[in-house]
Amino acid sequence: MTSSLLPELQPAHLREVGIDSATVYQGHFLHAVRDTVVLPDGSRALREYIKHPGAVMVVPLLDDGRVIVERQYRYPLQRALIEFPAGKIDPGEDRLACARRELREETGYTAREWARAGVLHPVLAYADEFIEIWFARGLRLGERALDAGEFLDVLAVTPAELLAACRDGVLTDAKTLTGLLWLQNWRAGAWPLDWREVEAAAAPVAAQG
């Protein structure tokens, strides 16, 4: 047992090496693959997992101290849950552009300032999905533009309400709880955010030439 987690994060004695890969299911939404891997002791094993393009999540801060969350029915869990706005990255899409698009489409808000907090991995045992975490402030409310078949409520709540909802078992979405960890530590002055102003236009236009 060692006492620090930081040095040598990719030790050779844990590594698994893929030697083949096949798609085992290609649905409308899910893409599952099964790879054969060589384990550290030379034996072989199968690894089945979901291929995912990655996603972004936004922690939207209102000027009055409240934050914007959504309530959305999540069919696999047979209930509606509270979440920060999030969505999949389109092919070739810039991550900040994706964050701005998802916030605007799902909640109607645009933001003057953005800061990238970090990244999380929701389910490392069976998906390659990452979720990049962005904070947004200087919010202005416009029109929502939900996808067809998308239904969700938009709520403005205090960080204290969200933390109490986690403590009481009402808020259980892991990405949102990770956003709360960031929010709590940023508000306490413990973790920094590097804010940048963005143009009001949703889609930046590259200069010609």
Q: Confirm if 175 and 90 have CB atoms less than 8 A apart.
A: no
| Shortest CB 32 distance to a second copy, Å | 6
User: How far is CA 52 from its chain centroid?
Assistant: 12
**Closer of 12 and 206 to a second copy (Cβ):** 12
Q: Confirm if 156 and 108 have CB atoms less than 8 A apart.
A: no
**Closer of 76 and 209 to a second copy (Cβ):** 76
**Closer of 35 and 93 to a second copy (Cβ):** 35
Give dist(CA 209, CA 203) in Å, integer: 19
**Closer of 190 and 203 to a second copy (Cβ):** 190
| Shortest CB 201 distance to a second copy, Å | 25
Give dist(CA 127, CA 57) in Å, integer: 17
**Closer of 137 and 172 to a second copy (Cβ):** 172
| Shortest CB 112 distance to a second copy, Å | 20
Give dist(CA 99, CA 55) in Å, integer: 9
Give dist(CA 9, CA 29) in Å, integer: 33
Give dist(CA 29, CA 23) in Å, integer: 14
| Shortest CB 40 distance to a second copy, Å | 5
| Shortest CB 207 distance to a second copy, Å | 31
**Closer of 145 and 174 to a second copy (Cβ):** 174
| Shortest CB 39 distance to a second copy, Å | 6
Give dist(CA 66, CA 64) in Å, integer: 6
Q: What are the C-alpha distances in Å from 7 to residues 3, 12, 35?
A: 10, 13, 29
